[in-house]
Structure 1
Amino acid sequence: MAVNVIEIGPGTLTIGAPSALTDFSDQCVSAELIPSVDKEKPRRVLSGKNVPGARTESVKLQCEFLNDFGAQDSRSEWLWEHRGQEVPFNYVPNSSAGKAITGTLVVEPIAIGGKAGEKPEKQVEFDLVDPPVFEAV
């Protein structure tokens, strides 16, 4: 079997309802879907059997964006204006691979500013409301 590695980009990242879609692709330096699993320990009962512990999954979309505060149609400002809202997203890591990651995320504000004389990049994490869907583009 051949080794497969898909390079990230060129791709797209859009956030928001179809009627108010906001394209973050030009500001996005990185985007990563990060799963997390919390597992409780099993419990032993009197009979000697074990009762499985609870298992909880969550997923975040972690992104790094170029700071564009003050620009017309600023994505940094959009995140602040829509913080706390649940909105759909569509992330295509590589357009030629033909796959998209879709779902609903909770918008969070991003840090603004940085060191003088530099062009800052800031990281933000969005919690997904439900597990993401992988689909053909």
Structure 2
Amino acid sequence: MAVETITVGAGQLTIGAEDALTNFSSQTTSVKLVPDVDQDDPIKVLSGESVAGDRTESFTLEGSILQDFGSADAKTEWLFTHRGETHAFEFVPNTAKGKKITGSLVVEAVEIGGDVGTKPTSDFEFTVIGEPVIEAIAG
């Protein structure tokens, strides 16, 4: 059996509706969809059996971007301006693989600034609303 792998990039990350799309692809140095699963303990009953505990699942979109504060169409400033808002997103880890992840997320502001003489990056973590969808790229 052959080993299958993926290299992240060339890909795409966009946030916003089609008529107001913001493309973060050129500023993003890391992106990942992160699941979080909570499983409650089983509940024991008198008969000796048990009932499965509740399971909850949530997702975040996490990564890092190069800061561009003060640039025309700065992504750092877009995140600051739209913090707390819910927007559609589309994440394509590798265009050649033909798959994308879509959904809605809550935008949060990121750090601005850093060490003198460096090209600062900012980490982001956006809560995904509901369940993201994996689908084929149209084309």
Could you say which TM-score interval applies, normalised by the shorter chain?
over 0.9
Residue 100 of structure 1: aligned partner: 100
TM-score under structure 2 length normalisation: 0.95
TM-score under structure 1 length normalisation: 0.96
In the TM superposition, what whole-angstrom CA distance separates every residue of 1:22-80 from its partner, at most 9, and x where no partner exists?
00000000100110101111111222221211111011110200011111111011011
Q: Which runs of 5+ in 1 are unaligned?
A: none
Runs of 4+, deviation exceeding 4 Å: none
Correspondences of 1:71-110 after superposition (within 5 Å): 71-110=71-110
Residue 116 of structure 2: aligned partner: 116
| Paired amino acid for 1:130 | G
Residue 6 of structure 1: aligned partner: 6
* Cα-Cα RMSD: 0.8
Percent identical:
51
Write the distance in 2 (CA, Å) between the matches of 1:87 and 1:110.
16
Q: Which runs of 5+ in 2 are unaligned?
A: none
Report how many residues are paired: 137
